[in-house]
């Protein structure tokens, strides 16, 4: 939530920052703003409500000369999206400008204290308090900007990644982090800073991930310096980025979401590579062998996640219980953290997060670790907070996901959970080598099977036209198809704004069946698995009440084909591998319905890709 970017160097500061903001727009797009420090002692701040393109239009006739600058794209927390709540925020004397990603929890106390010292506030944000506090300390103590930032942050409770520039000090940017991501890019005589590496990957591959409680001092002509709030210097650990610029572009697709849906054969291939080897004979996921005792002896697994990642987690429960015979609980991280959980050192907690930055998931990890559990992370973004906070873990390796609605990350998470379950089953001896090899060989075929499913694209596009104006949808499934139903419903509601509910198909008769009529389409996920006969009855129950049905079935299905209004056939797969195959047509259906309605699928209203606030 919120993206920050900064630059100091000889390049075109405005262009670099605006391009960087576009890359970070997935993190929020309620408003955008830029602060440009001019070598001749001017500090210009321009900001507007709305997307980055609005900011560009606003800046057309402005003074854009600069040698350094910072910029921000906002997902509103404190104060509605408006010009004045947009970042950067000025200090009282307009000598400092600051951008912030996170939430200052004690902002009210600080604001009251600063007001008593004569500070006036121009916005409703928590952020403005921070810049005023820095200025207040700087003036009172006659100290440097770095010292004022350190002292101010000692008084702050909450989450932040900030960057501050000073009118009279155009050669320096001071940045700091606590629980919100911040990375510094080191170029040739230039520095970048951003919420993730995407704004600068085309300029440099050298990156330093700033840690909680650290302050980065970025100064023209000097090496990067990192200190703690107590002014103790930290080692600067330079990492090499593996990301490529083509991964950040649409590659001829109209939207990132469609590109990411179509990338899945390739991303799943990358996800499987090196983990299923010898034709499926060996399946191994990072972190399992190194922690053999933990995985062999654990009594229970708890999986924590949010949103789409929670749906993958629910599939993880089915997979691990089936294959490893370990009891598994699945918790929303936001509930888990406040539920006074009972956790012991015999538990393994698995945290799943595409971004690796979700605040609730991070908090859940800290609680579980504090209570002695072994915590394993599954993430997509290399170097993000969750991999650093967990004791072991693995990446899904599906490349940057930019569309706000998660698609390729979901299938990657499910794929990793499947391989993780097989690795644990192997260790605990709950599956025979033959059974593992059999499933392993099917896993190797998944990229091709997904490619086959994508051939349904044109049919789904036509089908979407029939249902574009439905006001409600039901998504039904049983067993492994139940989490797929939940995920299908979430995809539809988040990008088309149509109300959709995912439900276990057999639970319908306990209430929701009352909703069925000709106006309420049902999407029923009914592959040929051990519950097939059961779901056929559920399909009949919906049809008997006049409901329209779109069914996802296995190729060659004859029974449901004769009952449902529309069927989409997917290739046959072992039951535990069907979720990856059946979720793809649902992604396409949501995409086309949202497009038919003229919605911005890559930036749905009110949402942001990385939820770094509670």
Nearer to ligand F6R, 308 or 481 (CB): 308
DSSP designation for 126? S
Question: Catalytic residue at 534?
Answer: no
Residues 41-80 interacting with ligand F6R (rule: CB under 6 A): none
Exposure string of 166-180, with b = 16+ CB inside 10 Å and e = fewer, is: bbebbebbbbbbbbb
Q: Does 405 bind ligand F6R (CB under 6 A)?
A: yes
Cβ atoms of 612 and 358 within 8 Å: the answer is yes
Q: Does 437 bind ligand F6R (CB under 6 A)?
A: no
CB 379 → ligand F6R: shortest distance, Å?
8
CB 387 → ligand F6R: shortest distance, Å?
12
Residue with tokens 């998931």: 361
Nearer to ligand F6R, 308 or 496 (CB): 308
Angle, nearest 10°, between helix axes 107-116 and 127-141?
50
CB 203 → ligand F6R: shortest distance, Å?
26
Question: Catalytic residue at 62?
Answer: no
DSSP letters, 164-181, are EEETT-TTEEEEEEEBS-
CB 494 → ligand F6R: shortest distance, Å?
6
CB 602 → ligand F6R: shortest distance, Å?
12
Q: Does 383 bind ligand F6R (CB under 6 A)?
A: no
CB 353 → ligand F6R: shortest distance, Å?
3
Which residue in the set 77, 95, 132, 308 belongs to the binding site for ligand F6R (CB under 6 A)? 308
Q: Does 309 bind ligand F6R (CB under 6 A)?
A: yes
Binding characters for ligand F6R, 266-295, by CB under 6 A (x = yes): ------------------------------
Calpha distance 48→34 (Å, rounded): 10
Tell me the backbone φ, ψ of residue 103, rounded to 5 degrees: -140, 130
CB 335 → ligand F6R: shortest distance, Å?
14
Q: In what order do the strands lie in the sheet with 328-332?
A: 328-332, 300-305, 347-353, 374-379, 392-395
**Binding window for ligand F6R (CB under 6 A); candidates: 37-45, 124-132, 205-213, 354-362:** 354-362
Exposure string of 572-588, with b = 16+ CB inside 10 Å and e = fewer, is: ebebbbbbbbbbbbbbb
Which residue in the set 353, 578, 582, 587 belongs to the binding site for ligand F6R (CB under 6 A)? 353
Which residue in the set 307, 399, 479, 585 belongs to the binding site for ligand F6R (CB under 6 A)? 307
**Binding window for ligand F6R (CB under 6 A); candidates: 341-349, 353-361, 367-375, 540-548:** 353-361
**Binding window for ligand F6R (CB under 6 A); candidates: 113-121, 177-185, 355-363, 563-571:** 355-363
Beta carbons within 8 Å of 224's beta carbon, 6+ residues apart:
184, 186, 191, 208, 216, 217, 218, 236
Calpha distance 456→453 (Å, rounded): 6
Residues 406-425 interacting with ligand F6R (rule: CB under 6 A): 406
Nearer to ligand F6R, 58 or 591 (CB): 591
Nearer to ligand F6R, 95 or 413 (CB): 413
Q: Does 358 bind ligand F6R (CB under 6 A)?
A: yes
Nearer to ligand F6R, 87 or 609 (CB): 609
- Residue 18's closest CA among 39, 29, 32? 32
User: 579: which 2 tokens?
Assistant: 């979720």
Which residue in the set 119, 164, 456, 611 belongs to the binding site for ligand F6R (CB under 6 A)? 611
Beta bridge partners of 172: 219
Identified catalytic residue from 51, 111, 449, 609: 609
Q: Does 355 bind ligand F6R (CB under 6 A)?
A: yes
Nearer to ligand F6R, 402 or 425 (CB): 402
Q: Does 494 bind ligand F6R (CB under 6 A)?
A: yes
Calpha distance 75→204 (Å, rounded): 27
Cβ atoms of 328 and 281 within 8 Å: the answer is no
Q: Does 264 bind ligand F6R (CB under 6 A)?
A: no
Calpha distance 309→524 (Å, rounded): 21
Q: Using CB atoms within 10 Å of the CB of residue 187, give its burial: 0 to 12 exposed, 13 to 18 middle, 19+ buried.
A: middle
Which residue in the set 257, 306, 396, 576 belongs to the binding site for ligand F6R (CB under 6 A)? 306
DSSP designation for 384? -
Cβ atoms of 224 and 218 within 8 Å: the answer is yes
- Per CB under 6 A, residues contacting ligand F6R are 306-309, 353-355, 358, 361, 405-406, 490, 494, 611
* Catalytic positions, written as ranges: 2, 609
């Amino acid at each position: 939530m919120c993206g920050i970017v900064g630059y100091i160097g000889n390049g075109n500061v405005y262009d670099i920052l605006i391009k960087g903001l576009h890359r970070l727009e997935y993190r929020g797009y309620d408003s955008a703003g830029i602060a440009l420090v001019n070598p001749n002692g001017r500090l210009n701040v321009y900001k507007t409500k709305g997307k980055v393109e609005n900011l560009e239009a606003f800046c057309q006739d402005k003074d854009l000369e600069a040698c350094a600058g910072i910029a921000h794209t906002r997902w509103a927390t404190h104060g509605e999206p408006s010009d004045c709540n947009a970042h950067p925020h000025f200090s009282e004397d307009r000598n400092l400008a600051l951008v912030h990603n996170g939430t200052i929890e004690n902002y009210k106390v600080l604001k009251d204290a600063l007001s008593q010292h004569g500070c006036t506030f121009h916005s409703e944000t928590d952020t403005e308090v921070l810049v005023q506090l820095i200025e207040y300390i700087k003036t009172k103590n006659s100290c440097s900007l770095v010292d004022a930032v350190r002292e101010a942050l000692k008084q702050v409770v909450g989450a932040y990644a900030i960057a501050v520039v000073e009118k009279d000090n155009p050669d320096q940017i001071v940045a700091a982090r606590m629980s919100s991501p911040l990375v510094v890019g080191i170029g040739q005589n230039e520095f970048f800073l951003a919420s993730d590496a995407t704004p600068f990957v085309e300029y440099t591959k050298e990156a330093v991930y700033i840690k909680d409680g650290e302050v980065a001092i970025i100064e023209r002509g000097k090496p990067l310096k990192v200190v703690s709030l107590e002014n103790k210097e930290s080692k600067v650990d330079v990492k090499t980025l593996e990301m490529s610029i083509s991964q950040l572009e649409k590659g001829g697709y109209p939207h990132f979401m469609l590109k990411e849906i179509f990338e899945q054969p390739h991303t799943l291939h990358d996800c499987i590579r090196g983990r299923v080897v010898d034709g499926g004979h060996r399946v191994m996921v990072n972190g399992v062998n190194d922690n053999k005792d933990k995985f062999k002896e654990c009594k229970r697994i708890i999986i924590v996640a949010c949103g789409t990642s929670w749906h993958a987690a629910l599939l993880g429960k089915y997979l691990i219980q089936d294959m490893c015979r370990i009891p598994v609980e699945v918790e929303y991280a936001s509930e888990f953290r406040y539920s006074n959980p009972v956790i012991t050192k015999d538990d393994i907690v698995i945290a799943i997060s595409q971004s690796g930055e979700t605040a609730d998931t991070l908090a859940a990890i800290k609680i579980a670790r504090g209570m002695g559990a072994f915590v394993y992370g599954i993430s997509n973004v290399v170097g993000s907070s969750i991999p650093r906070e967990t004791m072991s873990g693995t990446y899904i390796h599906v490349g940057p996901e930019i569309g706000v609605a998660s698609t390729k990350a979901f299938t990657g998470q499910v794929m990793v959970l499947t391989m993780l379950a097989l690795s644990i089953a192997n260790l605990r001896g709950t599956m025979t080598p033959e059974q593992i090899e059999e499933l392993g060989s099917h896993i190797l075929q998944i990229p091709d099977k997904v490619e086959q499913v994508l051939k349904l694209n044109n049919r789904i596009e036509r089908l979407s036209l029939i249902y574009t104006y439905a006001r409600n949808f039901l998504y039904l499934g049983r067993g492994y198809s139940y989490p797929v139903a939940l995920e299908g419903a979430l995809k539809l509601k988040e990008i088309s704004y149509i109300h959709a509910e995912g439900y276990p198909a057999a639970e319908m008769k306990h209430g929701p069946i009352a909703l069925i009529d000709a106006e309420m389409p049902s999407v029923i996920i009914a592959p040929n698995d051990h519950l097939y006969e059961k779901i056929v009855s559920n399909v009949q129950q919906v049809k008997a009440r006049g409901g329209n049905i779109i069914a996802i079935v296995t190729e060659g299905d004859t029974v449901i084909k004769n009952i449902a209004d529309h069927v989409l056939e997917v290739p046959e797969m072992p039951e535990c591998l069907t979720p990856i195959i059946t979720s793809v047509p649902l992604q396409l259906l949501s995409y086309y319905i949202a497009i038919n309605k003229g919605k911005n699928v890559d930036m749905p209203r009110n949402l942001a890709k990385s939820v770094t606030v509670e």
